[in-house]
């Protein structure tokens, strides 16, 4: 039996059919989540069920994984004279970090032909970036992803189109 640590409900039971089996793989576990695991023997004979005593509970945490949700609420603001552009966002919800903390954000900037003109990272305390001296084009597109201690980046956001105007 296993469940997320502290959960009063959602206890999942995995049945192992043969007494010679000494191990079992639990599936569909969430990344970087604490679980409570215990074992209880049972047997059935002639339609009668017998249940043994449950073992002591063991507490484990699953491994970290890349963030499973992109930054959200991406906002843009072009300055009045079109010389700068601010892009800001909200961090993904903590349960979707899939680790103890975020390390930063990956930001992609594209031209209107989806040609990348900038690809850079910012640290985890940064939730807005201001671009100065914008290129002489009508539109830019942005995409963001959160990063944690795992190699790579998490789920990418939707592409956000910004009309700069010439």
Q: What is the pLDDT of residue 166?
A: 65
Among 34, 61, 88, which residue terminates a domain? 61
Specify if 66 maps to a domain: no
Q: What is the pLDDT of residue 9?
A: 65
CB 160 within 8 A of CB 142: yes
- Domain of residue 127: give its range: 72-163
Residues 130 and 100 in one domain: yes
Q: What is the pLDDT of residue 161?
A: 92
Whole-structure pTM value = 0.80
CA–CA dist 66, 151 (Å, integer): 8
Residues 87 and 34 in one domain: no
Residues 155 and 86 in one domain: yes
Specify if 120 maps to a domain: yes
CB 71 within 8 A of CB 154: no
Q: What is the pLDDT of residue 40?
A: 80
The residues that bridge with 77 in the sheet, in sequence order, are 86
Residues 98 and 49 in one domain: no
pLDDT in tens, the chain (166 residues): 565 676 766 777 777 776 677 788 888 889 999 998 888 877 777 777 777 888 898 999 999 999 999 999 999 998 877 788 999 999 999 999 999 999 999 999 998 777 888 899 999 999 999 998 777 778 889 999 999 999 999 999 999 999 887 6
The residues that bridge with 139 in the sheet, in sequence order, are 163
Number of domains in the chain: 2
Question: The domain that contains 114 carries what CATH number?
Answer: 2.60.40.10
Q: What is the pLDDT of residue 160?
A: 93
| Residue 44 DSSP class | E
């Amino acid at each position: 039996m296993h469940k997320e640590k502290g959960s009063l409900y959602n206890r999942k039971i995995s049945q192992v059919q043969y007494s010679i089996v000494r191990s079992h793989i639990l599936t569909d576990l969430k990344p970087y989540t604490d679980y409570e695991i215990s074992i209880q023997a049972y047997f059935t004979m002639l339609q009668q069920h017998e249940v043994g005593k449950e073992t002591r509970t063991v507490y484990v945490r699953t491994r970290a994984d890349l963030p499973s949700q992109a930054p959200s609420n991406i906002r843009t603001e072009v300055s009045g004279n079109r010389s700068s552009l601010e892009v800001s966002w909200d961090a993904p919800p903590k349960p979707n970090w899939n680790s103890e903390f975020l390390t930063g954000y990956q930001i992609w900037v594209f031209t209107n032909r989806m040609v990348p003109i900038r690809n850079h990272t910012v640290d985890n305390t940064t939730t807005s970036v201001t671009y100065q001296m914008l290129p002489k084009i009508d539109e830019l597109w942005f995409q963001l992803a959160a990063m944690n201690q795992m190699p790579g980046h998490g789920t990418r956001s939707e592409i956000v189109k910004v009309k700069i105007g010439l």
